[in-house]
Structure 1
Amino acid sequence: MAQKAIQEFSAKKLIHQNISKYTDHFFQEYQGVQITPDNVDSISLPDFDNGYVAKPDELFGKRGKNNLIFMSNNKTEIIQWIKQKSSQTIKLQVSSVRTIQGKLFTFLVEPKIPHEKEFYLSISSQRDHNVIYFSNKGGVDIEENWNDTIELKIPFTIEPTPLPKLVLDKISAQLSENEKDIVLTFIDALYQLYCELDFTYLEINPFVLTDQGIQMLDCVARLDDTAYYKNSLIWGRAGITFPKPFGGEALPEELVVEQIDSKSGASLKLKVLNRNGSIWMLTSGGGGSVIFADTVGDLGFANQLANYGEYSGNPSTDETEEYADIVIKLMLNSKAKKKVLIIGGGIANFTDIKKTFIGLISAIKQNSQQIKRQGIVIFVRRGGPNYEEGLQLMKTEMQNLDIEAHVFGPETYMTHIIELAVNKL
């Protein structure tokens, strides 16, 4: 399961377009308007009786606490605020110790909804069950009021099924009599839709009750993108895309790897962390990638880690070569004085080590003169099908190219080659 975030605009459209399958109580059309650089100068906002709410739609939360929600009764003021925010570099405080920054491109404008009480609801998927969190004290202070939130675990089912009575009873205990029918019906329908359309996470904070029914004021959602094959038509009607997180604009090289990955049955991923880093990695397998990256951090070299990613799932020789060539060229362009290249992974189940190593060696050969000129040292650790042939081939070819390479098999701990590598810096 690959969880990918979607924009609030798309998530709300997806819910509004499909929830009527499970309830007749949620019938209003979604009135939100998405504003981007392409339409900000030409957009004509509809008339909303109670005014407008504008906010970025960039896959981050805490917009209220970051002063990124703007309300006005004037359409012109809304557009002016969006243009002003679009022209600035925004720095967000996402936790007590972490900030991110970037440009805002996509905004959401919705009608302002007068209300008195705010509710919180989230649904998340675990390995063998789903979890619902509910509170009648929703809104921007939900974290401060988290002790008032109830947690409900629901066994996983293949087909969407109504919530068990026990779960509904526990939610009902948090509601007044005039709230129960509409809120319980909404949550039950939303849960079934969550299961049907392969959400992996859905948070609505808050939703409110009005004369027109339930209104979702804020929504965060993630989908299992591996379920695209069965949901493509429904997701397509809602305009579902999987944009990059805020502050995480993709580099051209990352986009190329995404294209290779999209056409492959294997998994090819790349995230550049530091273009001028010293430690570059060609790692195979998600678990191995994590171990290598964590070890670099544990040894105090996190600020020199250049990239994170993987090539796994038995990629072809050509795919491996193309992927490796991209990473190696990035490494060669790094301004770090000393560099190491780590080629590693755990013990593969079915990836043909020799086949992938042929691709890696080919990419190294294409860039061998610059690798030698820059004094880059290569460290290799791998196990799995045909690993002995692959390791021997790597040793022989690196010797022929006169490139310093230290080659190990599964008898050597994965963490050990990181220790050896950082000692070269």
Structure 2
Amino acid sequence: MVTPEVLTAKGVWEGLVEKNPWLKTSKLVAKPDQMIGGRGNAGLLAVNKDFDQVKQWILDRMCKDSTVAGITGQLTHFLIEPFVAHKQEEEYYICMQSHRYKDEIFFYHEGGVDVGDVDAKASKLAVPTGGDITAHMVKSELLDKVPADKQEHLSQWIKTLWAVYKDLHFAYLEINPIACLPDGKIVPLDLVAKVDETASFLCAQKWGELDWPSPFGRAAYPEEALIRDLDGKTGASLKLTVLNERGRVWTMVAG
């Protein structure tokens, strides 16, 4: 993770390399990590670069305004990852999301930045809330358009991913793409995840140090951050959203 600290403090880049020697020996990918969707199509993705190129790419954008899907905000947090060489036909899309009475798994055999309307195109597997899945269910319901030699391994991987999704109380998990490589490795290349904040008292130890960032283009008010901290320490639900910092009317929703 690269933060605005690189603009003001000395030795930050050197410290990153010391902790992660692969930064100097591998081709890299860089992208902002601020709940921004469609980064590839928005020009916010540096691919197959060396460390010096990635460093300059980040510095050119750090703390600068950027507009994505009509929303303008500052780019302040970037990820650097190893570049994974693969072919387009090895890219797949998967999404898991929770609803009131069921969870759903979406899978599409042509993943990537141009995946399009997956709601219309993807294969879907509905799971009643509290239910479970098997590798056979995954294979028969989701993987009919995946090459036969990849179906068994991929179905087991999705089954395991589903177990993690439930155990950590995710509400939404989208990986686009996952790359299924010839050597059998399955590599998530880009991921969007939402966890159920009300499960913090159950999962805090498993989650570890988990930040609750504000949406891109909207910085959190100190009062919101305070209430969010209190919310994480109790089984009750405590929420505060400041709609107008100069407003004089408080809207309270009770239920």
TM-score, normalised on structure 1?
0.52
State whether structure 2 residue 129 is matched by structure 1 residue 156: yes
Residue 84 of structure 1, CA deviation: 1.3
For the residues of structure 2 that align with 1:157 and 1:145, how far apart are their CA atoms? 25
> Is the CA contact (8 Å cut-off) linking 2:201 and 2:232 kept in structure 1?
no
Residue among 91, 102, 109 paired with 2:73? 102
C-alpha change, 1:46 and 1:227, in structure 2 (3 Å) is same
Residue 130 of structure 1, CA deviation: 0.7
C-alpha change, 1:87 and 1:156, in structure 2 (3 Å) is closer
Q: Secondary structure at the match of 2:79?
A: strand
For the residues of structure 1 that align with 2:204 and 2:230, how far apart are their CA atoms? 21
Residue 268 of structure 1, CA deviation: 4.6
Q: Which residue of 1 aligns with 2:92?
A: 119
Q: Which residue of 1 aligns with 2:143?
A: 172
Residue 148 of structure 1, CA deviation: 3.1
> Is the CA contact (8 Å cut-off) linking 2:92 and 2:177 kept in structure 1?
yes
Residue 82 of structure 1, CA deviation: 1.0
For the residues of structure 2 that align with 1:200 and 1:232, how far apart are their CA atoms? 15
C-alpha change, 1:266 and 1:171, in structure 2 (3 Å) is closer
Residue among 202, 207, 226 paired with 1:230? 202
TM-score, normalised on structure 2?
0.84
Q: Residues 358-377 of structure 1 correspond to what in structure 2 (within 5 A)?
A: none
Worse overlay, 111-120 or 149-158: 149-158
Residue among 284, 287, 293 paired with 2:252? 284
State whether structure 2 residue 48 is matched by structure 1 residue 78: no
Residue 260 of structure 1, CA deviation: 5.8
For the residues of structure 1 that align with 2:108 and 2:163, how far apart are their CA atoms? 19
Q: Residues 248-259 of structure 1 correspond to what in structure 2 (within 5 A)?
A: 248-258=218-228
For the residues of structure 1 that align with 2:162 and 2:236, how far apart are their CA atoms? 32
> Is the CA contact (8 Å cut-off) linking 1:163 and 1:191 kept in structure 2?
no
> Is the CA contact (8 Å cut-off) linking 1:137 and 1:145 kept in structure 2?
no
Query: Residue by residue, what CA displacement relative to the aligned partner does 1:119-170 show, whole Å, maximum 9, x if unpaired?
Result: 0000001112110110001111112565431121112227xx4437344312
Q: Secondary structure at the match of 1:283?
A: coil
Q: Secondary structure at the match of 1:192?
A: helix
> Is the CA contact (8 Å cut-off) linking 1:137 and 1:148 kept in structure 2?
no
For the residues of structure 2 that align with 1:101 and 1:257, how far apart are their CA atoms? 26
- Structure 2 gap ranges (5+): 7-11
Q: Which residue of 2 aligns with 1:133?
A: 106
The list of structure 1 runs, each at least 4 consecutive aligned residues, that deviate by more than 6 angstroms after superposition, is none
Identity %: 33
- Max radius of gyration: which structure? 1
State whether structure 2 residue 166 is matched by structure 1 residue 195: yes
Residue 230 of structure 1, CA deviation: 2.6
- Structure 1 gap ranges (5+): 1-33, 94-98, 286-311, 314-425
For the residues of structure 2 that align with 1:186 and 1:144, how far apart are their CA atoms? 24
For the residues of structure 2 that align with 1:113 and 1:228, how far apart are their CA atoms? 33
C-alpha change, 1:252 and 1:196, in structure 2 (3 Å) is closer
> Is the CA contact (8 Å cut-off) linking 1:90 and 1:104 kept in structure 2?
yes
For the residues of structure 1 that align with 2:246 and 2:205, how far apart are their CA atoms? 43
C-alpha change, 1:128 and 1:77, in structure 2 (3 Å) is same
State whether structure 2 residue 22 is matched by structure 1 residue 47: yes
For the residues of structure 2 that align with 1:216 and 1:181, how far apart are their CA atoms? 18
Q: How many residues align?
A: 243
Letter in 2 for 1:115: H
Higher helix share: 1
